């Protein structure tokens, strides 16, 4: 999985997340907070153009597979109460970083940054650390309710998709300790609205995912098929392609692992709009104008097979063009191909 160059623009469908509703309404002991909330599941329509969320009163996404037109959130079933006053987290420096464990959701609050008027600032950042004993890929998924926009950083790598209901960051590292920083982004921190964070470790990694400093998106130069794997429920494989003229683009997603992995591909334009979806083993052709585009392959139902490679094929063809040349008598003649 590779990091996205157009950080603040990608608007995509929320991936499968495996948090249970109970974990979303309460904070983990790592954050030193406790707040329970039983809830009811409601479906909130998404904007038909950008697929961005348009809820009036929603909380944090729950474990539901979204469609291209809806996203599911956990909404409180109790009357609206004044915001609770919480104790600010203490992991505000690298020295006080909290150890985050794989597959253990954390829910916490990001203290807003403050200035003392003398050029000194506090707040606006939280720190977590991960200890690896072998070379693995770390995939962080941060879920944010509407109105919240935070950023993630690990070493020199920034999370992609810095707006919308989630942000993701991937980093490949060997044995050692690594620090994750969560900062204010498009919005200030909040002590009333929590975010959710989860880490997944993947010991089996694609060849093109072996290096931590790789770009998130692989640029397509060769129109031949490419083979990759999905190694965790949050894994996304992005490709960037340049269409030099109007034509027809055929996407084929071949996945031999039907028993374990169910994948789909999506095609986006440069304005982050979803053009269409291609399901595995069901090719689809799109009429598209000259422009830059992106493809995304990910698990459609949270199932995946890190041992079996899928194949993504891109076939672009332009409409037939006449062949023109000067003929005897200085006559310009154009002949259309049969």
pLDDT tens, per residue, the chain with 338 residues: 444 444 333 333 333 333 333 333 332 333 333 333 333 323 323 333 223 322 233 232 322 233 333 333 333 333 444 555 678 899 999 999 999 999 999 999 999 987 767 666 667 899 999 999 999 999 999 998 888 888 899 887 777 664 557 788 888 899 999 999 999 888 888 898 999 999 999 988 877 666 554 445 566 656 778 899 999 988 888 888 899 899 999 999 999 876 788 899 999 998 878 999 999 999 999 999 999 999 999 998 888 999 899 999 999 998 887 888 888 778 888 887 77
The confidence score (pLDDT) of residue 5 equals: 41
Q: Which domains does the chain have, with CATH numbers?
A: 21-79+86-202 (2.60.120.380), 220-317 (2.60.120.380)
- Annotate 193-230 with b (16+ C-beta within 10 A) or e (fewer): bbbbbbbbbbeebbeebeebebebbbebeeeeebebbb
The confidence score (pLDDT) of residue 321 equals: 78
The confidence score (pLDDT) of residue 218 equals: 63
Query: Which residues fall within 8 angstroms of residue 193, CB to CB, at 6 or more apart?
Result: 109, 145, 147, 148
The confidence score (pLDDT) of residue 164 equals: 56
User: Helical H runs in the chain?
Assistant: 21-24
- Measured CA to CA, the distance from residue 29 to residue 182 in angstroms comes to 19
Q: pTM of the predicted model, to two decimals? A: 0.64
The confidence score (pLDDT) of residue 199 equals: 95
Tokens of 43: 């479906």
Q: Using CA atoms of 71, 22, 231, 67 in order, give the dihedral in degrees to the nearest 10.
A: -10
The confidence score (pLDDT) of residue 322 equals: 80
Q: Answer yes or no: are the C-beta atoms of 164 and 150 closer than 8 Å.
A: no
What is the three-class DSSP state of 21? helix
What is the three-class DSSP state of 255? coil
- Measured CA to CA, the distance from residue 282 to residue 251 in angstroms comes to 9
The confidence score (pLDDT) of residue 204 equals: 86
Nearest to 140 by CA among 179, 111, 175: 179
The confidence score (pLDDT) of residue 187 equals: 87
């Amino acid at each position: 999985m590779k990091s996205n160059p157009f950080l603040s623009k990608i608007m995509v469908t929320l991936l499968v997340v495996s948090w249970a509703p109970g974990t979303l309404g309460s904070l983990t002991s790592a954050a030193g907070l406790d707040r329970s909330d039983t809830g009811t599941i409601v479906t909130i329509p998404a904007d038909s153009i950008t697929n961005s969320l348009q809820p009036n009163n929603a909380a944090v996404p729950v474990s539901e597979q979204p469609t291209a037109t809806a996203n599911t959130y956990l909404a409180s079933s109790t009357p609206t109460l004044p915001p609770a006053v919480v104790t600010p987290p203490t992991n505000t420096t690298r020295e006080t970083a909290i150890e985050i464990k794989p597959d253990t959701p954390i829910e916490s609050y990001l203290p807003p940054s403050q200035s003392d008027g003398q050029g000194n600032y506090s707040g606006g950042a939280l720190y977590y650390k991960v200890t690896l004993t072998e070379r693995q890929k770390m995939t962080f998924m941060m879920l944010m309710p509407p109105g919240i926009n935070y950023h993630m950083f690990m070493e020199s790598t920034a999370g992609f998709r810095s707006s919308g209901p989630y942000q993701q960051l991937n980093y490949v590292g060997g044995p050692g300790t690594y620090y994750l920083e969560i900062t204010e982004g498009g919005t200030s921190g909040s002590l009333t609205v929590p975010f959710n964070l989860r880490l997944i470790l993947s010991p089996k990694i694609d060849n093109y995912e072996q290096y931590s400093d790789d770009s998130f998106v692989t640029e397509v130069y060769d129109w031949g098929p490419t083979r990759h794997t999905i190694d965790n429920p949050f894994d996304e494989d992005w490709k960037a392609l340049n269409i030099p003229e109007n034509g027809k683009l055929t996407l084929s997603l071949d996945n031999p692992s039907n028993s374990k992995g169910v994948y789909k591909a999506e095609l986006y334009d440069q304005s982050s709009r979803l053009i269409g979806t291609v399901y595995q083993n069901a090719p689809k052709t799109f009429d598209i104008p000259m422009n830059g585009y992106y493809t995304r392959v990910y698990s459609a139902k949270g199932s995946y097979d890190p041992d079996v490679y899928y194949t993504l094929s891109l076939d672009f063809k332009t409409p037939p063009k006449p062949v023109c040349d000067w003929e005897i008598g200085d006559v310009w003649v154009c002949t259309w191909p049969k």
